[in-house]
Amino acid sequence: MSIFVNENTKVIVQGLTGGQGKYHGLRNRDYGTNVVAGVTPGKAGQDVEGIPIFDTVADAVAATGADASFVAVPPKAAPAAILEAAAAGVAFIVCITEGIPAQDEARVFNTLLADYPNTRLLGPNCPGIISPGKCNIGITAGEIALPPTADGPNVGIVSRSGTLTYQALYELKQKGIGVSTCVGIGGDPVPGTNFIDCLSQFQADPDTHAIIMIGEIGGSAEEEAAEYIKANVTKPMSAYIAGVTAPAGKKMGHAGAIVSGGKGTAQGKMDALAEAGVKIGLNPTEAGELMAEIVANLG
């Protein structure tokens, strides 16, 4: 199995006629993802390499039965694009757009919560999601992910960092370890999907046998995840927290990655996760090696 998306997921790409939308949308399709339509207002009736374009998400959903959307539009248009997809009944939305103002993210998050409780948003500012061999929505290179095996053990990955998401996937591939699903939740202050959302899904998925979690400085998401792990997660885990050497008060890459008032430090997060029974790597490679040890013991 996998979480959130699988081989039956039907995907539309909002912004398929744009440069980034076309590049990544076609890569997703060529990977084997069931990309059924694109949406660009005013361009209905056109197509991009055989993928039909519609003016609205509602039209695309009505024609194709799509249940997921890949939002690849500029920051000004992204909040409206997300809400348009939700209003059309799309259950899973991936938004890779970077640079959306935090207040717009908060408004969208709360609107989804209040008006569209059956819609899940992944992102914004995230690499997306890949269930290797089944579905890839976003900007992750499919060739770095090893599909899960029928017998396992298979690993689930959840990460705040895009680049470290890719490294985790490739570290496991080099060790011959299959991945059930890899979720990049993004590093913005108001993510649509958080660590706990993913951990609960991985815990419930019978084909995920162990979990890698990659966090970073700033906020309290990792500490909250540690509390959840302590109470609810029985599957073995390894983790890495980026930003050990980050100076206090300086934003490091992601909008949410900032240590302030002595809170959100890498050490505090590592301590909380270690107390919850998670094996902590001091670098991404070590986190992969720890997972290889875990998997070997599961074998």
Catalytic residues: 254
Calpha distance 93→78 (Å, rounded): 11
Peptide linkage before 52 cis (omega within 30 of 0): no
Specify the pairing of strand 279-280 against strand 210-216.
unpaired
**Directed axis angle between helix 57-64 and helix 78-87, to 10°?**
40
Tell me how far apart the alpha carbons of residues 80 and 70 are, in angstroms, rounded to a whole number: 13
Reading the block at residue 114, the tokens are 């209040």
Q: Taking the CA of residue 159 as centre, how many other CA atoms within 13 Å lie in the half-sphere pointing to its CB? A: 28
Tokens 């989804």 sit on residue: 112
Eight-state DSSP code of residue 251: -
Measured distance CA(272)–CA(136) in Å, rounded: 32
Phi, psi of 268 (to 5 degrees): -60, -40
What burial class does residue 251 get, using C-beta atoms within 10 Å of its C-beta: 0-12 exposed, 13-18 middle, 19+ buried?
middle
- The tokens describing 95, both together, are 């938004």
Q: Which two structure tokens, joined as six digits, stand for 294?
A: 């875990």
Which amino acid is it at 192? G
**Among 171, 230, 234, residue whose Cα is nearest residue 208:** 234
**E strand residue ranges, 41-166:** 47-48, 51-54, 68-71, 92-95, 120-122, 128-131, 135-138, 154-159
